[in-house]
Chain A
Amino acid sequence: MGRFVLDKVSKSFGDAQVIPPLDLTIEDGEFTVFVGPSGCGKSTLLRLIAGLEDVTSGTVNIDGKEMTDVPPAKRGLSMVFQSYALYPHMSVRKNIAFPLRMAKMDKAEIKKRVEDAASVLNLTDYLDRRPGQLSGGQRQRVAIGRAIVREPSAFLFDEPLSNLDAALRVGMRLEISEMHKRLATTMIYVTHDQVEAMTMADKIVVLQAGVIEQVGSPLELYRSPRNTFVAGFIGSPKMNLLKGAEAEKHGATTIGIRPEHISISHESGMWEGVVGVSEHLGSDSFFHVQCDAFEHPLTVRATGEVELNYGAKIFLTPDLAHLHKFDADGLRL
């Protein structure tokens, strides 16, 4: 089990309100990702759920039980920290066994569980080493091992992959998703990386300045962002958000069009522009195009290897079916 209901939860540090009162429900078994720019309060929100910070007001309810004032040790949750936070003076075996030791489990059962977790995480050969003798990826596995042995009602992840290099990060991302499918336990995952959010989440919670901007599945957020912040934050490269006369033609203050929803032509199109910097990834090509109609350059995506010369004149046409319109307050029309 692992169902969370936050009711009007808020957090202030002194006079500074980091999280204004918010409501949020996380269903049992869901993979929920808190995403937002740094300083948006996503880690604080996770720490409120964990009990590592006390809420200023509101209640935290876990599996139908009021847990607002229950210390972290008694909430039955596991957490993986950004810094891994392994116990440097203990071997890998003792690190993984620590939560079980605290739960006063008997020695034989601890040994069995630790060895099972180690074999799942490919740590069997490293059980007698100290964390200081392991690579970043291995430390990450130990941290995950320590979290899973206890069979918690939910896993909390605080930017667990941000200290790993890019290649390792993709691999660990898959392993965590795999683990979620296998264990079917609630996971709450904090990241500033929208790619991690899109690829792993069942449900994404987009935060800005402590306020929930939108809650939804990755594709819901991609298809119909509730406001310009979510529109700009979700999707890579970013959605083009355009103002001015062109936007007013569509009856909006701001219009948004994703790079993948613009077609390129040499002969004719809706907007005329000049090609700037090109980025070639092989599978895709991205062009930065300065159009006369807009102040800032647009990002345009073409599939495969497409060559456009710097300074070439081209025409762009947006796919109107995927055009997003926003009002003066930035809200979706």
Chain B
Amino acid sequence: MARAVTNQRKAMNTFFAWALGLLIFFPILWTILTSFKTEAQAISDPPIFFFFDWTLENYKAVLERSDYAKFLWNSIFIAGGSTLLGIIIAVPAAWSMAFVPSKRTKDILLWMLSTKMLPAVGVLYPIYLICIELGVLDSRIALVFILMLINLPIIVWMLYTYFKEIPVDILEAARMDGASLRDEIIHVLTPMAIPGIASTVLLNVILAWNEAFWTLNLTAADAAPLTAFIASYSSPEGLFFAKLSAASTMAIAPILIMGWFSQKQLVRGLTFGAVK
């Protein structure tokens, strides 16, 4: 045996793993718990954990006051649309970088990633002005494009890593079998890369769903997604923690559930290429 694993050690590791997991999850747990409290209990000192009067009042109030369905639809439209558009653009880009690399391919990949290092606020003015000029302020389509561009480097990079793992022989075999470039990408490359594309899609839906900077700054009433829905409960009504928590819970629930069911895919996708 390479290393003795005693029961005691196992128990300790399990304990620390759970403790760390709970610590990371705690803010979300706290938000969810608070959403079921009354406003008074939400701010009580010392805080109350479980033994409060469970109530759905906050949800009722939030649903009465705002049009949750509209925010939800905007979030789905923006996150889904930007991811779909990004994938359509990134597949050919990643294909060419993975299979017909030039001397500059590595530099281009790094340069693309470097655009993520620029603080977003640095380009807020130009983009805001462009949106006004084009008359697309507070439009879902504009946000689809902007979020797509913001996440494109990550999409290309992830797909590139996946495509690199596909043996080039198989693509060459397709060429010998008479496949055009289009056939090769549609019938051979894409089906083989489905697991990779799936985790790229998942990650990007999450990133776009949670993106707050651009969605808050470029929307008002029509195109506002769930991030704006939460924000609308934070600023004007700072003290209503329970309602804010209810709004937050409703905003993160869909993505949390999706993440829960697809966690296997996500973990595989994020560690892919790291271990060979």
Interface, chain A (partner B; CB < 8 A) = 50-52, 71-74, 77-79, 81-83, 85-89, 98-99, 102-103, 146, 150, 156
Q: Mark B157-174, 1 if CB is under 8 A from A, else 0.
A: 000000000010110111
Main secondary structure of the interface of B (DSSP, over half): helix
Residues of B within 8 A of A103 (CB): 178
The CA-CA distance from A79 to B171 in the complex, in Å, is 12
- Please report the C-alpha to C-alpha distance between residue A146 and residue B178 in the assembled complex, in whole angstroms: 12
Which one, A72, A83, A86, A156, contacts B175 given CB within 8 A? A72
Chain A residue at smallest Cβ distance from B191: A89
A-B complex: 7 closest residue pairs judged by Cβ atoms: A85-B173, A99-B177, A102-B178, A85-B169, A79-B176, A72-B175, A89-B191
- Name the distance in Å between B193's Cβ and chain A's nearest Cβ: 10
- Is B183 part of the contact surface with A, judged by Cβ < 8 Å? yes
Bound CA span A79–B178, Å:
11
Residue of A whose beta carbon sits closest to that of B170? A85
Size of the chain B interface, CB-CB below 8 angstroms: 18
Interface centre among B173, B174, B180 (most CB of A within 10 A): B173
Whether a CB of chain A sits under 8 angstroms from the CB of B192 is yes
B43 interfacial contact with A, CB 8 Å: no
User: What would be 29 A-B contacts, judged by CB atoms less than 8 Å apart?
Assistant: A51-B175, A52-B175, A72-B172, A72-B175, A73-B175, A73-B176, A73-B177, A73-B178, A73-B179, A78-B177, A79-B172, A81-B169, A81-B172, A81-B173, A82-B169, A83-B167, A83-B169, A85-B169, A87-B170, A87-B192, A98-B177, A98-B179, A98-B187, A99-B177, A99-B178, A102-B179, A102-B180, A102-B183, A146-B177
B206 within 8 A of A: no
A88 closest partner in B (C-beta): B192
Assess whether B84 is interfacial by the CB under 8 Å rule: no
Minimum C-beta distance from B100 to chain A (A): 11
A290 to B19, CA, bound (A): 75
* Residues of A with C-beta under 8 A to B178: 73-74, 99, 102-103, 150
How far does the Cβ of B17 sit from chain A's closest Cβ, in whole Å? 34
- Contact across chains for B173 and A89 when beta carbons are under 8 A apart: no
Other 6 A-B pairs with CB < 8 A, given A86-B173, A88-B170, A89-B191: A52-B175, A73-B179, A79-B172, A85-B173, A87-B192, A102-B177
Nearest residue, chain A, Cβ from B192: A89
Q: Across the two chains, which residue of chain A brings its CB closest to B176?
A: A79
Among B169, B176, B188, point to the contact of A78 (Cβ < 8 A): B176
Question: Are A50 and B188 closer than 8 Å at their CB atoms?
Answer: no
A83 and B178 CA atoms in complex are apart in Å by 19
Q: CA separation between A51 and B169, bound complex, in Å?
A: 14
Chain A minimum-CB-distance residue to B173: A85
Chain A positions within 8 Å of B192 at CB level: 87-89
In the bound complex, what is the Cα–Cα distance between A70 and B170 (angstroms)? Answer: 20
B167 contacts A85, C-beta separation under 8 Å: yes
- Residue of B172, B179, B194 near A85 (CB, 8 A) is B172
Check A98 against B174 for contact (C-beta < 8 Å). yes
Residues of A contacting B169 in the complex (Cβ-Cβ under 8 angstroms): 81-83, 85
| Docked CA distance A156–B170 (Å) | 15
* Residues of chain B with a CB closer than 8 A to A146's CB: 173, 177
Q: In residues 20-65 of chain B, which contact A (Cβ within 8 Å)?
A: none
Give the shortest distance, in Å, between A32 (CB) and chain B (any CB). Answer: 18
A103 to B177, CA, bound (A): 9
Q: How far is the CB of A94 from chain B (nearest CB, A)?
A: 10
